[in-house]
Amino acid sequence: MKRSTFYTGIMAILTAAAIGAGCQTPPAANSGNAPNSTASSTDHSGHDMSNMNGHDMTTMSDPNASSQPFDLQFIDSMIHHHDGALKMSETVIAKTQRAELKTFAQKIIEDQKKEIATMKGWRDQWYAGKPSALNMEMSGMKMSEMAESAGVDVDREFLEMMTQHHKGAVLMAEQALKKSERSEIKTLADRIINEQSREITKMEQWKQAWTK
């Protein structure tokens, strides 16, 4: 059976946000205060799936990212990772008919936007002028093959992919608990682990309930 348009679009987002492309081009130069971004200039406010398929798929680690302080790598990489979750959530809000899933996705947007703002503030405070340190080799940035839905169930496809995405964030956060030198990042990592683990459990329950 054909994959749905939603599935194809979200797979494109996840590839850009968490996996990286096989054929990659060097990242554009940046000012040093903002992580490397693959955001398209296209306005996605209408959640047009053809627009999402047009995302730049050339994400790769920034030059010398692995030689930068771990906490800077974590900040830049987690901001990039969160951005993928925002796009997925915005899309499912536009497509799903389930009120509880809309509420769930909206909470993801609100929580992760707050975390992005917090991390950007830390970056400005701690690493002003440092080049972007997006590291696609960090645990959780590259994930194993995504589970593929055989049907065209938008809700299930979102749950499958967001579950995998959350698992990647948990892996990154667990690494931060071991390697970070800053208590603020360890506190954030602990929150990510706790909150996203609970959300993974909820999504697993929904998948079981909605496929009966």
Q: In the CATH hierarchy, which top-level class contains the domain 5-20+58-207? A: mainly alpha
Spatial CB neighbours of 141, under 8 Å, sequence gap ≥ 6: 18, 19, 20, 77, 81, 135, 168, 172
**Checking phi first, is residue 174 left (phi over 0); if not, alpha (psi -120 to 50) or beta?**
alpha
Distance of alpha carbon 96 from alpha carbon 158, whole angstroms: 9
> Residues of the chain whose pLDDT is less than 50?
1-3, 5-8, 10-57, 144-151
pLDDT on residue 30 = 40
Predicted model pTM: 0.72
Side chain identity, residue 113? K
pLDDT on residue 141 = 83
> Helices 183-210 and 154-179: crossing angle, nearest 10°?
160
104 alpha-carbon distance from chain centroid: 16
Domain boundaries along the sequence of the chain: 5-20+58-207
